[in-house]
Chains A and B, each alone.
Chain A
């Protein structure tokens, strides 16, 4: 009897010891995962009994892997989720609403975040993510080429932008251009379209709104850049090295994101002082662009939600936000983290700070990414295929409507049931 009891005790003890260590599974996408590991030992010291297991997923495989994990009930506790993916995982019901956690938190306060970026995490009134780092695409420009063309500052609105591009093209000659708008990227056109007052989708995100006056203006501006010879009709693969070509003056404007600041500094040191960044020129003073970046999301299936939140909160605290900027160059999501001297003195980051106040969310429907790809093909059809703008926009609207058909019928069924 005594032996049995002792054995039982032994079993209990070993159970307790095993149960004492909680493994928190944290998935990251891309390079961030390599770097965030350096910030974790301090977290593990502050939370004895918690071990964080970071798994890096390459960006190209991330979407597929997350969906497969959802289907197979193998999602992690905490995940870095690109904020354009949040609507999709919210529609799946895979995400834990975070408002109660934020309400109880001293660290995460919504008014300290850029409102456009925060908004990407709010789906139908519920909060599903907390921004980790942010990005938006804006204008990288060659200040020396602008000066040669007679301009001492980056263009602030579309009219000025047109004049600058025309002048640069005149000065550059036939084999050089004013701007690079890669035909395999939808983001530059999307940035212009988001400055318009009309929404991209209408009827509660169930139909395309691409024949609206606003979207048409954006497309016309974009297409004009090619028709006037300001932009080469090329895709990124044909450029092959965007940094060298920018340094060579193949184009004076390039619309891209904060990750390129470090690349340009490192790859083109001799270009220092001859380039700058500026907010995307605005349409009728309405500057701004797409709100991008990554958020922390906790999955509904996680058994360790409080610890997952503790880690998200820890990485959202000012010292970690600033350390993360130093390690990666990723721009912090909290305004107060921008008071960090290293960031404040970075002349290239300043334009991002300005634009981030005006960014807006892309349409928050799960189908958006696919519609955005169609947007790129629509523009390519006009520019490379010579399709008239009217036809292309009508076809694009029809395509978006077809992609959104299921969402439309589900919402209709839901409102009928009510």
Chain B
């Protein structure tokens, strides 16, 4: 009994903090999503009305929501594999016995993660500039016509993906590097003795050993990429033709530009449900692929 009480005493502070700063705001947002809280309600709380699930119905009926969802899925579908591939590639290079100055490269590759989005977005806007940008300069060298990266609805999302992958791959790289260092060297030695090629070593030792780490990285990255916001906010403001308009950007506009906090909360919960479903699907796929 007394040990149980002691346990409660120990976890109470943590529970309080979680309750006040997490559970309470989430519950408040859920309540808010069932009302039409807006500018008029801010002026006088008597103007607040309970609308049930109307906000959810309105959001699901809005073409802009589906457009933003499609853009977000595009971003996640292309961005997550690309991001993990880049992280894995960088981690393999850093882990290679041939690599020199590992500390320097590790820091350099991790640097984009800790820089501010706004500052690097300015630089990338110059890199992407149609006439004066470095990227088009290189493309023209290879005989490719200059691309209007941020003005053409077909190229705006690829531009955002390139920027986001560059900004984020360092974080996963560090996690994967730790995973790589945890693989026992004996396995590789045994494989080499058996005459396995580098590719087969990677395919049959590295990848299976990294499976749990890759799953973790996949889930974290996917959940993060679903919340695409800062990149389009600073680079394109959702333009051109709303081609970089994400679900979170939609929520931001509803909530903080037009002050429809009820509807914005409903969007937040829809996004939460989407991320939950996507994570579930990923976990199930991973479990099915597991060797029994």
Q: Does A associate with B in a complex? A: yes
Does B43 count as interface, using CB distance less than 8 angstroms?
A: yes
- Are B239 and A410 in contact, with the CB atoms below 8 A? no
- Are A410 and B259 in contact, with the CB atoms below 8 A? no
* CB under 8 Å from chain A, chain B span 193-240: 239-240
Q: What does the 1/0 interface line of A207-245 toward B look like (CB < 8 Å)?
A: 000000000000000000000000000010110100000
- Are B40 and A71 in contact, with the CB atoms below 8 A? no
Does A407 count as interface, using CB distance less than 8 angstroms?
A: yes
- Are A92 and B47 in contact, with the CB atoms below 8 A? no
A93 CB contacts on chain B under 8 angstroms: 43-44
What is the minimal beta-carbon distance from A322 to any residue of chain B, in angstroms?
A: 36
A184 CB contacts on chain B under 8 angstroms: 239
- Are A235 and B38 in contact, with the CB atoms below 8 A? no
- Are B240 and A235 in contact, with the CB atoms below 8 A? yes
Across the interface, A92 reaches (CB within 8 A) one of B43, B131, B148, B257, namely B43
- Are B43 and A235 in contact, with the CB atoms below 8 A? no
Does A88 count as interface, using CB distance less than 8 angstroms?
A: yes
- Are B240 and A88 in contact, with the CB atoms below 8 A? no
* Complex interface: stretch among A62-70, A154-162, A274-282: A62-70
* CB under 8 Å from chain B, chain A span 366-418: 366, 370, 380, 384, 406-407, 410
* CB under 8 Å from chain A, chain B span 111-161: 129-131, 148, 150-151
Could you tell me the dominant secondary structure of chain B's interface residues? loop
Across the interface, A64 reaches (CB within 8 A) one of B131, B150, B239, B257, namely B257
Does B39 count as interface, using CB distance less than 8 angstroms?
A: yes
What is the minimal beta-carbon distance from B41 to any residue of chain A, in angstroms?
A: 9
Could you tell me the dominant secondary structure of chain A's interface residues? helix
What is the minimal beta-carbon distance from A6 to any residue of chain B, in angstroms?
A: 47
Given contacts A64-B256, A93-B44, is CB(A238)–CB(B151) below 8 Å? yes
Which of A71, A370, A384, A406 has most chain B Cβ within 10 Å? A406
- Are A70 and B150 in contact, with the CB atoms below 8 A? no
Given contacts A63-B257, A64-B257, A370-B258, is CB(A237)–CB(B240) below 8 Å? yes
A380 CB contacts on chain B under 8 angstroms: 241
Given contacts A237-B239, A370-B258, is CB(A88)–CB(B130) below 8 Å? no
- In whole angstroms, what is the CA distance A240 to B256 when docked? 28
Total residues of chain B contacting the partner, CB 8 A: 21
- In whole angstroms, what is the CA distance A410 to B39 when docked? 12
What is the minimal beta-carbon distance from A73 to any residue of chain B, in angstroms?
A: 12
Across the interface, A406 reaches (CB within 8 A) one of B38, B148, B240, namely B38
Does A91 count as interface, using CB distance less than 8 angstroms?
A: yes
Given contacts A235-B151, A237-B151, is CB(A71)–CB(B42) below 8 Å? yes
- Are B256 and A88 in contact, with the CB atoms below 8 A? no
What is the minimal beta-carbon distance from A406 to any residue of chain B, in angstroms?
A: 6
B241 CB contacts on chain A under 8 angstroms: 380, 384
- Are A366 and B130 in contact, with the CB atoms below 8 A? no
Across the interface, A238 reaches (CB within 8 A) one of B148, B257, B258, namely B148
B256 CB contacts on chain A under 8 angstroms: 64
What is the minimal beta-carbon distance from A385 to any residue of chain B, in angstroms?
A: 9
- In whole angstroms, what is the CA distance A67 to B44 when docked? 14
- In whole angstroms, what is the CA distance A67 to B41 when docked? 13
A67 CB contacts on chain B under 8 angstroms: 42, 259
Across the interface, B39 reaches (CB within 8 A) one of A91, A235, A237, namely A91
- In whole angstroms, what is the CA distance A407 to B43 when docked? 13
B36 CB contacts on chain A under 8 angstroms: 406
- In whole angstroms, what is the CA distance A88 to B42 when docked? 11
Residues of chain B at the chain A interface (Cβ within 8 Å) = 36, 38-40, 42-44, 47, 129-131, 148, 150-151, 239-241, 256-259
Q: A67-B259, A93-B44, A238-B240 are in contact. List 13 more A-B contacts (CB 8 A).
A: A63-B257, A64-B256, A67-B42, A88-B39, A92-B39, A92-B43, A93-B43, A237-B240, A238-B151, A366-B39, A406-B40, A406-B47, A410-B47
Q: List 7 A-B contacts (CB under 8 A).
A: A63-B257, A71-B42, A92-B42, A184-B239, A238-B151, A240-B130, A240-B131
In the A-B complex, list the 4 residue pairs whose CB atoms are closest, starting with the nearest.
A92-B43, A238-B151, A64-B256, A237-B151
